[in-house]
Structure 1
Amino acid sequence: MTATSASSLEDFIAALPKVELHVHLEGSLQPETLLTLADSHQLSDLQRSLEEIRSWYEFRDFPHFLEVYRHAVQVLRDAEDFALLAAETIRSLARQNVHYAEVNFSLCDHLERGIPAEVVFAGLEQGRTQVEAEHDITIRWVPDFPGDFGVAAGERTLDAVLTHGPASVLGFSIGGLEVDREPFADLFTRARAAGLRSLPHAGETEGPDRVWSAIHALGADRIGHGIGSMRDPALVDYLREQQLPLDVSPTSNLCTRSVASLEEHPLPRMLEKGLLVTLNSDDPPMFGTDLTGEYRTASRMGLGPAALAQLARNGVQASFLEPARKTALVAEIDATAAQHDAAS
């Protein structure tokens, strides 16, 4: 990019076609919507103002983030609530020039609260089909469960997916506290046999051992976060050789105290090592960001326009879009980069 002004960079980021591979639906709940739904369902044990919610979203650490996250989902009660959240989330992605997204949602949390899976899926599909008809965007769903809830919770979640999940369900994920992934091997074998992609969180708050177990025990097709991989040179070599994608979310890692500062975040080193890294927003309003904001953050971390364009290409490569659409979307990214003098 010949011009280096803030406005030219902002224009480039806005114009860049994007995919989002690691964003949580419930973590995309806007504070205003949370208040509206809390009032609608007469929930009195939640924060009562935008100021209180913003203060609530200042996390001490990762367990505190999970505590807030699981409390916030109480406002989702019926299909209309899930439809509203899905539509708002997808419209926000479309406004950021996101053409394709694989969206995690916490099916297990809703099942544990007594919300039937068919209610959740009905709402998600209503919101998805409505907004896909309005915008050039395709959404695929990735139901997940918290590892700290145990194998039985994962089994219940997978059973619900296999019984009630629509064709738009793409994968299966484990999140929550980063407990040992080995006990979930049989569960993920069953999910993969049913045609679901294995998309576990690993190496977010823990180290390389969790990433190795996600690879060997869970047959990971892609790793959610994976920043802990950088502590093990052998793992870095494996990830580079296999080009196993890692979905990285810098602002999330900072807000949950998984990294102490952006200066210490390993994203630039991961790219330098030749890893297939994608850029993602994780839980946007909870962390005061969105995918466009993460491209700005990557720029502040020292990545130039050519590197930002490569992150966008990486997202396409790591996605499960059909090959023809991948080729077309990469061509759009290349054209945008050339137009802004940001070719690699």
Structure 2
Amino acid sequence: MSSSSSIAGYAAAALASLTAGQVEFLRALPKAELHAHLNGCIPVPTLRKLAAEHSDAASLPENVHAGIDQLQKGVVLEEIHDFFGLFPAIYALTSNPEALAEAARAVLALFLESDPEAPNGQSQAAYLELRTTPRESAHMTRRRYLETVLDEVERYPGERAALIVSLDRRMDAKVAEEVVDVAVALRNEGRRVVGVDLCGDPLAGDMKEFEGHFSKAKQAGLGVTLHIAETTENTHEDTLRLLSFKPDRLGHATFLDVDARDVVFSNKACVEICLSSNLLCKTVSSLDEHHLKHYLECNHPVAICTDDTLPFRNSLVGEYALLLAQKPLGLGLSEQEVVRVAGMSMTSRFALPTAQ
């Protein structure tokens, strides 16, 4: 995905409003992508290639091809819950190690290789923490899944790429325990696992069941990031329960109440902000109403991220354009303020295994 022609929507409009000098400034800016889901960032050409190479391509369910077509055209989401129906098509195409490796390679290149539209060959990100939920299939165990992704991540030096292992709120206790145990084991073996994440349907699961798993991960030296308060339906109790895990970073944190916000400010947990994602999922009504403004006013650490470049048709440079562009297309921050925001993303990275 290039930084202009392949993106659409809010990010594209903001980027198009900038001068050539401003775009070059954003491209050259050292910035970390800390909230990018592997399966949500696979480029459409890679998905089509995987569909063609599928061992039984002729009998792939029609919804797989329809899903790819929908993603290429751009999705219209009425609310965040619509988002989770987009992924069965992708999962069907990345259910064996070879296809998963190809997908991971394409996503890493998307963020870390030279952008063909950047005059000086800059990449979208100086550093990427890619996250994914390990899925068991007929062709691979959850450990094999993570090893496959790590093999691709570790083609890059440690200062450029690492892996976050995601637990889904819909997981039962046995699966969640297995995922954390594998993440810790790989970390102890020196593999480049730097953190664990909680993701999935924001209204699913009993968060009491997850506390021990995240405690174990933290004790093993893994960073903890949690998708939190993504909808107005997330309860006060759910949010405070998750904050009691003492996360290092928070995903979205859109609907924190006063009590929760006080805890976040006290703990200085970096908030991973995904502007296009929030706007397209309609969890915020406009940039002017976005909770990012409050965090910036309070000098609270944030990281600007893409979330899922495939359905949202954005890029990291495009997300930063939403900071720099003048209102109403952007927040109208100064270049100095944007540099400060990018710096916060770089200092909020999780620690690499000591061997690296």
Instruction: Tell me the TM-score normalized by structure 2.
Output: 0.79
Is the aligned partner of 1:65 residue 2:83?
yes
Matching residue of 1:307: 337
Aligned length: 311
Is the aligned partner of 1:36 residue 2:49?
yes
Unaligned runs of 5+ in 1: 323-344
SS at match of 1:228: coil
Matching residue of 2:111: 93
Among all aligned residue pairs of Structure 1 and Structure 2, give the percentage whose two residues are the same amino acid. 21
What residue identity is the alignment partner of 1:253?
Answer: N
CA distance in 1, matches of 2:93, 2:127: 27
> Cα distance 1:123–1:8, how it changes in 2: closer, same or farther (>3 A)?
same
C-alpha contact 2:197 2:225 (8 A) present in aligned 1: yes
> Cα distance 1:19–1:56, how it changes in 2: closer, same or farther (>3 A)?
closer
What residue identity is the alignment partner of 2:222?
Answer: L
Alignment of 1:116-155 (within 5 A): 116-130=141-155, 132=156, 138-155=160-177
Structure with more of its chain in helix, by fraction: 1
> Cα distance 1:241–1:122, how it changes in 2: closer, same or farther (>3 A)?
closer
1:21 corresponds to which of 26, 34, 47: 34
Matching residue of 2:178: 156
The 4+ residue runs of structure 1 with deviation greater than 6 A are none
CA distance in 2, matches of 1:103, 1:53: 20
Question: Which digits, 9 at most, give the CA deviation of each residue in 1:130-185, with x for residues without a partner?
Answer: 3x16xx95211111122023433312322333455662111111111124533311
SS at match of 2:33: strand
> Cα distance 1:148–1:40, how it changes in 2: closer, same or farther (>3 A)?
same
> Cα distance 1:215–1:49, how it changes in 2: closer, same or farther (>3 A)?
closer
What residue identity is the alignment partner of 2:193?
Answer: V
> Cα distance 1:6–1:208, how it changes in 2: closer, same or farther (>3 A)?
farther
Matching residue of 1:103: 130
C-alpha contact 1:236 1:275 (8 A) present in aligned 2: no
C-alpha contact 1:28 1:89 (8 A) present in aligned 2: yes
SS at match of 2:87: helix
- Asked which structure has the greater RCO (Cα within 8 Å, sep 6+), the reply is 2
CA distance in 2, matches of 1:105, 1:8: 35
C-alpha RMSD of the superposition: 2.5
CA distance in 2, matches of 1:200, 1:263: 25
Matching residue of 1:6: 19
Question: Which digits, 9 at most, give the CA deviation of each residue in 1:282-327, with x for residues without a partner?
Answer: 11121010111100112212222122111111101211257xxxxx
Matching residue of 1:335: none
What residue identity is the alignment partner of 1:275?
Answer: H
Following superposition, the deviation at residue 20 of structure 1 comes to 0.9
> Cα distance 1:5–1:129, how it changes in 2: closer, same or farther (>3 A)?
closer
Matching residue of 1:316: 346
The range that moved more, 310-319 or 54-63, is: 54-63
What residue identity is the alignment partner of 1:236?
Answer: R
CA distance in 2, matches of 1:66, 1:49: 12
Is the aligned partner of 1:199 residue 2:218?
no
CA distance in 2, matches of 1:18, 1:183: 35
CA distance in 2, matches of 1:296, 1:147: 32
SS at match of 1:258: coil
Following superposition, the deviation at residue 72 of structure 1 comes to 1.8
CA distance in 2, matches of 1:118, 1:75: 19
Question: Which digits, 9 at most, give the CA deviation of each residue in 1:46-71, with x for residues without a partner?
Answer: 12596433346332322221121244
Is the aligned partner of 1:170 residue 2:188?
no
> Cα distance 1:178–1:50, how it changes in 2: closer, same or farther (>3 A)?
closer
SS at match of 1:63: helix
C-alpha contact 2:74 2:313 (8 A) present in aligned 1: no
SS at match of 1:98: coil
Instruction: Tell me the TM-score normalized by structure 1.
Output: 0.82
